[in-house]
């Protein structure tokens, strides 16, 4: 089982705006790494907690009880059949392979939008010595 928590909040340090914070939590009935399932749950949660008229500062999703794929045990009589589970895994493997070969965000899901007017600020990004060969510390 996978814990899924989504939150949204305004800027608590700005006393001039109306404050609002809320969260949505759900226990997914089966482990999944299938992006369309996660998007469906994210939209469901957002529709439940979003309120019009607030200046939101932060939103996020937290996943808990993450299980490595090799140890996931499908439910024999569950919602997702073993055949469907393998089809989903193959589709995500193709999406990941295309994005790895042709560059990040070559294939995206439509709900992500086609253009982004914003980019993450990464001026103070820590070096990733343990996960990137090109950033390996040399002496």
Tens of pLDDT along 52-100? 999 999 999 888 887 777 777 766 777 767 788 888 889 999 999 999 9
What per-residue confidence (pLDDT) applies to 6? 92
Percentage of the chain exceeding pLDDT 90: 35
Decide: helix, strand or coil at residue 4: strand
Give pLDDT tens digits for 89-113.
Answer: 899 999 999 999 998 889 988 888 7
Q: Which two tokens stand for residue 45?
A: 């949660």
Q: Which two tokens stand for residue 123?
A: 């001026």
Task: Answer yes or no: pTM beyond 0.85.
Answer: no
Q: At what angle do helices 35-49 and 82-102 cross, to 10 degrees?
A: 90
**Which residues lie below 8 Å from residue 59, measured CB to CB, with a gap of 6+?**
6, 7, 8, 9
d(CA 37, CA 124): 33
């Amino acid at each position: 089982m996978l814990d899924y928590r989504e939150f949204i909040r305004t800027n608590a340090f700005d006393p001039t705006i109306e404050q609002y914070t809320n969260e949505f939590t759900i226990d997914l009935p089966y482990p999944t790494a299938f992006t369309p399932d996660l998007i469906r749950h994210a939209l469901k949660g957002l529709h439940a907690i979003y309120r019009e008229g607030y200046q939101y500062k932060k939103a996020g999703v937290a996943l808990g009880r993450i299980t490595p794929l090799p140890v996931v045990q499908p439910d024999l009589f569950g919602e997702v059949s073993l055949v469907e589970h393998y089809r989903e895994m193959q589709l995500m493997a193709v999406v990941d392979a295309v994005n790895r070969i042709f560059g990040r965000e070559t294939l995206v899901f439509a709900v992500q939008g086609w253009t982004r007017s914003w980019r993450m600020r990464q001026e103070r990004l820590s070096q990733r010595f343990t996960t990137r060969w090109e950033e390996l510390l040399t002496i």
